[in-house]
Structure 1
Amino acid sequence: MKHHAVPFRLRVGTQDVVIALFVTVMQVQGTLARVAAEGAPRPLTDFGNLGFALLVVSGLVVAVRRRWPVPVFVTAALASLVYYGLDFPDGPGWLGLFVALYTLAAYGDGRRSLVIAGVSTAVLAIWWLFAAADIEPRAAIGWVFFRIGASVMSVALGESVRSRRVIAADAQQRAELAERTREEEARARVDAERLRIAREVHDTVAHAIAIINVQSGVTAHVLDKRPDRAREALQAIEQTSSRALREMRTILGVLRDDNDGRVPYPGLEQIDELTAKARDAGLDVTLEATAPATPLPSAVGSAAYRILQESITNVISHVGPTRVTVALNPGVDVLEIRVTDEGRRTGSGADRPSGNGTDPSARAGRGILGMRERCQLLGGELDAKPTPGGGFEVTARLPLAPTGSRL
């Protein structure tokens, strides 16, 4: 078993403490070494060891540079101004200042920190020019321009680090947003598929149960007196239940298909079979259909079939034997579907299902809602309302080029 070594890294706070100690030691030791080699106009021990204190303060303050970049820079800058203003010996006492300047650009709040860094660099440059007034000109130019160049490089390096960090954070946010978007789209697709399956199951089962209910009532009513009629009703029950089972297997087969295969759903090609079943259930169906000039899109044909099926199912369930007119009018860009019934007939006998066929609220269930959703998905509209004669009318308009919402 192989073991991969984990690279050792200090925590951010610990890193800053180490850097602060390093800067402090370099400033103090470097200055002492230069004083020992060249001498100094003012010893570090003057004013109660103020020179040592300024070097230590400007170095140790780096330990909290990322937490408070502006105060750290201000502290280091003031310490540097006082140090050189009192003519303490030259040396690497600027190291803490440049680290603080870099931190201000890298970890500040963007534009405001850059403005502070730029203005401060200009002020320090002017101060350094005054401080170098008593130095030999050639040495003074090198002394000043080294500090100005180091300041500019510190700001540029800090801004580069800040920009990279901002770009990385922005990329991370975009990645998280893309992931959330993918998850939301996946949930939306799952919800849409569940809704589609629920509509298919409802339309298939509700239509079959309605016909079986009517035919069962007919069988019970005529079993003794008209066995031939009872036999026909039982055959209709068998055919209806068999077709419902086939359609349910089709739906479940799509769910189990690993290849996400799509099988053809019923379309207007089965309208004659649909109206024949309705007649077997006791409806007097008149079909007024005009052949479309061009083949209908499969989505439109399937939605039209399901709307017709649900409308006829509602008539069977809530009205019973009555006259129904089914009209199909394919236009240039819209397919209009109209299903109109004349309402409940009086004296229907045993063939009449229970329920109120004249009360619109009796029909306003999941069926009409499902039909309306089918229309809206294709950019169409559906209107369901009672007629003056006590019947009910469902009108649907489906664009032949679907423009509705896609889930």
Structure 2
Amino acid sequence: MTSLRGWPPLALDGILAAVVAVMLSATVLVTPKAGALDLAAVLVGSLALVAWRRAPLVSLLVSTACMLVYSVHAQPGPPAMFPVLVSVFGSVRAGHLLLPALASAVFLGTGLAGNLAAPDGRNLQDIVEATTLLLGWFLASGVTATVARHRQAYVEQAEQRAAEAERTREEVARRRAGEERLRIARELHDSLTHSISIIKVQAGVAVHLARKRGEEVPAALLAIQEASGDAIRELRATLEVLRDSDDGEPQASGLDRLDDLVERARSTGLPAMVTISGARRELPPEVDRAAYRIVQEALTNVSRHAGGAAASVRIDYGGDELVVQVDDDGRASRDAPPVPGVGLLGMRERVTALGGRLLAEPRPEGGFTVRAELPLTGPFTVRAEPPLGAELPQGELT
């Protein structure tokens, strides 16, 4: 905790104690009746102000006792009240009322009695006026401390209300987000799941009839059957995470299924080869998922837009990052680059969320390259996976 000026409270209290000690030491030196005992009492009473915030009652008792010794012996007048005044303020500000009132009464009463008994020729009216002035200072200190305490309580209460309002807003936002996730999950289940299931069933029936007739099953039909099964599995995983109120991550695909992904691309007629360098090891789930999705989307783009091109997939396990690169030798060129679409945007979002870098552009020798550099150290931002293979106008890169 620091003050408004940036100084720690302890440093400010130390400065205050030092200033009061210097001032009162000067009064001791110019007071005829003062001696070594008075100087010691002044120093101890002033230095006790270092604790007026953290231990206000201790500061009050020490400063009152020391200033009583100085006041009774040397009768310095109003300067002796400074440490007691500050200690009374600190004690009342901390919520103590009885002890500050008693300390003030004892200090003022002792000072009044000493002035009445002192043979210095002062008349009664002057003594009463001086005592009344000191009483006003003590009352002002107590009132000011009470106002400061209530203001602090009001500020704390306002901060609590603000924090509670923020928690309420967050709860409302989470509830609305949960309701929206459930609505999306119902829509996906009622539309996509049914449609993909029909595709899978029809493809299975076609495969069965072809084999029953002794005919060769087309590779494209087998690819449709396998892809529809994978689509259903991943859609179900997506539905699970949408219905999960704890925002858990589904068991999504990772690079352990890279061979299946490439084999499925080959079954559609896409020549594809895979090169893996570095020591294969377990990856953070976010990086593993992102790498798989980037390869999946890049191969989908080659199949849809590269016009019979071949693709090469390279996975490089580095010390601090994973490099995923997919190249093709298709029709893309720097003179006529393809228009970026939703798929490329989704790849860029994945890479950016992990703090990595993405390069997606035509190659100088022709074709297109996608290169993602994914850091292997967190923290990672967990975010919903954007949809893959969205339908776009003809000629756009997805």
Look up the equivalent residue of 1:138 and give its one-letter code. L
1:173-212 residue CA offsets vs partner (Å, 9 max, x unmatched)? 4335545665787769998x98xx99xx9xxx9xx99xx9
Aligned pairs (5 A) from 1:8-407: 137-138=123-124, 140-142=126-128, 144-176=129-161, 178-179=163-164, 231-258=218-245, 260-290=247-277, 292-344=279-331, 359-362=336-339, 364-403=340-379
Q: Could you say what secondary structure the match of 1:360 adopts?
A: coil
Task: Give 1:235's aligned amino acid.
Answer: L
- Call closer, same or farther: CA 1:249–1:236 in 2, change over 3 Å: same
Matched AA of 2:345:
L
For structure 2, the 5+ residue unaligned runs are: 1-92, 94-121, 384-398
CA contact (8 A) 1:290 1:328 kept: yes
Residues 184 and 328 (structure 1 numbering): CA distance in 2 closer, same or farther, change over 3 Å? Answer: farther
Maintained 8 Å contact 2:265/2:299: yes
Distance 1:393 1:254, change over 3 A: same
> Aligned in 2, Cα 1:298/1:344: closer, same or farther, shift over 3 Å?
same
Deviation at 1:276, TM superposition (A): 0.8
**Structure 1 stretch 253-262 or stretch 157-166: which is displaced more?**
253-262
Larger Rg: 1
Secondary structure in structure 1 of the residue aligned to 2:378:
coil
Structure-1 separation of matches of 2:309 and 2:382: 38
SS in 1 for 2:139: helix
Mapped partners of 1:245, 1:357: distance in 2:
38
2:26 corresponds to which residue?
none
Contact 1:329 1:335 in 2 (8 A): yes
Q: CA deviation at 1:158?
A: 2.4
**What CA deviation, in whole Å up to 9, does each residue of 1:334-363 have, x standing for no partner?**
111110011149xxxxxxxxxx9995333x
AA aligned opposite 1:253: E
Mapped partners of 1:406, 1:250: distance in 2: 16
Q: Conserved in 1, the CA contact under 8 Å of 2:334 and 2:364?
A: no
Preserved CA contact (<8 Å) 1:360 1:386: yes
Q: Match of 2:24?
A: none
Q: Is the CA contact 2:358–2:372 (under 8 Å) kept in the aligned structure 1?
A: yes
Question: Aligned partners of 2:331 and 2:217: how far apart in 1?
Answer: 23
Alpha-carbon spacing, 1:238–1:406, altered in 2? closer, same or farther (3 Å): closer
Deviation at residue 247 of structure 1 after TM alignment = 0.8
Q: Distance in 2 between matches of 1:313 and 1:188?
A: 35
Structure 2 distance, partners of 1:374, 1:384, is 14
Kept in 2, the 8 Å contact 1:321–1:344? The answer is no
- Cα distance, 1:263 vs. partner? 3.0
CA positional deviation for 1:367: 1.2
Q: Is the 8 A contact 2:311 2:326 kept in 1?
A: yes
In structure 2, distance between residues paired with 1:270 and 1:309: 11
Three-state SS of the structure 1 residue aligned to 2:272 is strand
Q: Please give the per-residue CA displacement for 1:11-34, whole angstroms capped at 9, x wherever unaligned.
A: xxxxxxxxxxxxxxxxxxxxxxxx
In 1: Cα distance, 2:327 partner to 2:241 partner: 34
Kept in 2, the 8 Å contact 1:385–1:394? The answer is yes
| Distance in 2 between residues matched to 1:139 and 1:183, nearest whole Å | 64
| 8 Å CA contact 2:240, 2:250 repeated in 1 | no
Q: Displacement of 1:268 after TM fit?
A: 0.4
Percent of residue pairs identical: 36
Bigger relative CO (Cα 8 Å, ≥ 6 apart): 1
SS of structure 2 residue aligned to 1:343:
coil
Q: Give the letter for the 1:337 counterpart.
A: V
Structure 1 residues 229, 374: closer, same or farther in 2, change over 3 A?
A: farther
CA change 1:389–1:264 in 2 (3 A) is same
Summarize the Cα distance change of 1:181–1:381 in structure 2 as closer, same or farther, 3 Å threshold.
farther
Q: SS state of the match for residue 365, structure 2?
A: coil
Q: Alignment length, in residue pairs? A: 240
Query: What is the alpha-carbon distance in structure 2 between the residues aligned to residue 404 and residue 259 of structure 1?
Result: 17
CA contact (8 A) 1:379 1:403 kept: no
Change (3 A) 1:372 1:229: farther
CA pair 183-266 structure 1, distance change in 2 beyond 3 A: farther
CA contact (8 A) 2:309 2:329 kept: yes
What is the CA-CA distance between 1:288 and the residue it aligns to? 0.7
Q: Which residue of 2 aligns with 1:74?
A: none
- The code of the aligned residue for 1:165 comes to H
In structure 1, distance between residues paired with 2:364 and 2:174: 41
